[in-house]
Amino acid sequence: MKASINKTTVVRIVIVVLVVFAGAVFSNFTVSVAPSPQTIIATPTRAPTQTGLRTARVAELTDLPSDVFTRLTTNAAEGQAVIGQVLNVGGTVRTLDRGNARIDINDGTIIRVSPKTLFTITQLEPSSPITRLYLTLGKVWITLTGGNMQVETPIGAASVRGSYLGVYYNADLQQIAVSCLETSGTCSFTYQGVVYSMTSLQIMIVPPLPPVVRNMTGVEIKDWILVLPGQEVRGIISSTSTPEPRPQSPPPSGSQ
């Protein structure tokens, strides 16, 4: 009986000693508990402005009284034009006998379209300041505040930089008239590989051949007044000295 009590007592003493020892050990042991995750709300920041960064250039119909038809892309079907339509490369504008239209490009360029005209946009890229049209027939009037506009026709190409340019192509007679109302850059027409330059208030008509660059007449200036605000045209005329016509080079001696 005494032996049994002694064993029980020994076991209890051992347990007490172990408990005391464990308490002493764990009292000096610190358990690091990871903090609960917190929701972090990121504050959006605006990307730094990059000098010269271009936005997409688009050509939008902004005025079309009547009789205007468009094809928005190369493969699209032609339909009645609607204000606000955006023309892509390959898009066309066609006006009937009483139709006219205005197309605004968001770089400040304005294309005014006369009746009985058909043209196609062949280049309009955000990475390039060049806009190209192909004029199948009729007349377009370009107001260009920057960049470069090229109007190609079946017999030659007109080009303008920072200017007012009018291009008329008579498909029946295969005749073209290119007028430069005003230019801070250059107006030119390329015919059979030769570039003919114009300054403000000058015009070139082909044929006759060789092409002749001359001053615009009152009637030709009036054509501009019909498509631009009269005050704008008169302001251009009053601020532009009319240049003398450029003399044509005489033919080589002995030529027929």
Residue 28, domain member (yes or no): no
The model carries a pTM of 0.71
Residue 182, domain member (yes or no): yes
Count of domains observed in the chain: 1
Q: Which domain range does residue 140 map to?
A: 59-239
Q: Which helix (H) or strand (E) holds 29?
A: none
Residue 79, domain member (yes or no): yes
Domain with residue 129: its CATH number is: 2.60.120.1440
CB 197 within 8 A of CB 182: no
Burial category of 31 from C-beta neighbours within 10 Å (exposed 0-12, middle 13-18, buried 19 and up) = exposed
| Local confidence pLDDT in tens for the 256 residues of the chain | 444 556 666 556 656 555 455 555 445 544 444 444 443 333 333 333 333 444 578 899 999 878 999 999 999 999 999 999 999 999 999 999 999 999 999 888 999 999 999 999 999 987 778 899 999 999 999 999 888 899 999 999 999 987 899 999 999 999 999 999 998 778 999 999 999 999 999 999 999 888 989 999 999 998 998 888 766 777 777 766 544 444 444 444 444 4
Residue 174, domain member (yes or no): yes
* 8: region left, alpha or beta (phi > 0 left; psi from -120 to 50 alpha): alpha
Q: Which two tokens stand for residue 254?
A: 């002995």
Residue 191, domain member (yes or no): yes
Residue 150, domain member (yes or no): yes
9 phi, psi to nearest 5 deg: -65, -40
Residue 246, domain member (yes or no): no
**Per-residue pLDDT tens over the stretch 38-93:** 433 333 333 333 334 445 788 999 998 789 999 999 999 999 999 999 999 999 99
Residue 247, domain member (yes or no): no
